[in-house]
Structure 1
Amino acid sequence: MPARRILLGFYFEEFLAVGGAEALGRVVGLSRAAWKDWRPANWAEYVKVLPGLEAIPEVGEVEVGTFSVEKAIALKPDVAILGDWQVKGLGTAAERLAAAGIPVVVIDYHAEQPARHAASTRLLGQVLGEEARAARLAGEYEAAITALRDSISAARLPRPRIYVELGSKGPGEQGPSYGDYMWGALAALAGGSNIGRGVIATWGPMAAETVLASRPEVIAIAGSEWRRHPTAQLMGQGVAAEEARARLRGFLARPGWNALPAVREGRVHAVYQGASRTLADFASLQYLAKALYPELFAGLDPQAEYLAWHARWLPIRPQGSFMLGLA
């Protein structure tokens, strides 16, 4: 029987894509900060079309230690839908939910493993009573990934070295990079040789000297709607392309970067952090593949694919910058 009272910790757009906008009426508790604070312009767009979001009780956010198990239990949900990273972050606190009679459904898009994307989507379908819709979403994702990987495999091209950094700190401070996780896993799926692999377990800063020594041929800086940070990489809803490129050019002034192959050849890109660890990240994967193999994927328009996915599955129509290069 589909859950009627749901505590939702993360993967908000996946929840809405599977359940439809009407599924929001079943959410009795929300880790709002993980949406509103991380992607404020995106949150604002959803509030315009789904004003009920503002009225859903907040339960806090795991990463900054504000998640309240007491609040969650008091809301009496039938089920708590949490990300794998949230359950790990909560530790024994997550067990208190189960002990209170609240089943914890764990889903995971952060690992960027296509099989986990598909399994998590189908699991959401079971919880929401939308198995057929979930199957279509999962199948669509799997087909896009398979087509891309088949093209890369058939081409038998060398794997270019790629460096991905979360640009939330701006050029003045080395931001986190990724191992076999999130953008690092996406970069590998896209056919790149991720320079963070073997250096970083999941995510964390890479020494500037290591980046220089690795001589990446492609660089991608992940950004979001971080207007509180004066030099952070801006990307996402409401961000103009030239504004995003102006922030991206700031990273090129880092010591030694002018000698990197990626910078010399103009193969430096910005990607939207909100377009990772999501069902729509097949488009981010396409973009990275095109950045790595521009001739092989010359006819591909990943941003158009990203926007079309929203038109098919979600109630908002994003406008802004979600993936772009220097040119």
Structure 2
Amino acid sequence: MPLPSPIPALAILLLATQLTGTALAAPLAAPDAPPPPAGADAALLALDAQARAGDAQAQLDLADAYGDIPFDRPADVARASAWYRLAAATPDPVLRRQACAALGTLEAGGMGWPENVTAALPWYRCAADLGDVQSQFNLGLLYDEGVDVPADAAQAKAWYRRAAEGGLVLALERLGALAERDHDRDAAARLYGEAAAKGDLAAAQALARLKRGGPSPQVAGIGLAAQSQDPATVKPAPKPVPGQPRKPPAAVGADGLRLIQQRLRDLGYLLGPADGRLGARTANAILAYEVAHPVIWDETAPPPDGWPSRDLLARLSRP
């Protein structure tokens, strides 16, 4: 179970806000929020001061700074959770959507926080209702697989459709899988074709199988965390290594990493900016993609590890 919230009163206030649909009148100041870590640099201290004064954007940025843990710094998801909760209470719908989506990911096992899908549900709903396509997809996946909610194909399809209409390619692939499960191969082929045309390699493979007349594979869950930000339920996430560089390898470079990040965003694996910065979210998104789209490895090849490589860049650059 996750650690207790550092600000339970705020959580109660936010829950009341969600239930009534009434936004708070003004951003919340946070004089009693968790302090920054010892040795924090001047930029982080300045951001902390803005956040404590009630600047909702600063609260969200500060939470992101704690939540997107680089390889060479210990995770501090407790601080991230506290600041995300404060940012989620802002009346600004864009900032609230981003904070709710991040809290859903965090509670579902992202960022190193213990998995608690039940706690993730209201945050995903908050973000989904505000138009966040990744949260819409995650809700579809929960109802598709029956994760801590009764399996409900109708709700799964509805949430997948909303995510697909918002541009999330992976949602088209899942709609195709649902159609195939319902023995509607024509609809499955159409949906797989749409996803494949937008760069989804797994959908292209499924479409080729359908055209060959091959049998439908056994439907198996793909794992909520694996398709959002943390693949811990499928394969251990990359372990932080002290001193490991935060920059991508020279063979990929910052431009290559930005392309990898953008493609992972397009496919629904990465929630965050394509900034050429190698943090835990990017590493987990790479690992989730590698687990879902395995290549043929020989005995000497390393297993998927979440590290940007020239091979990954080439795979994601294909039309």
TM-score, length-normalised on structure 2? 0.28
TM-score, length-normalised on structure 1? 0.28
Higher helix fraction: Structure 1 or Structure 2?
Answer: 2
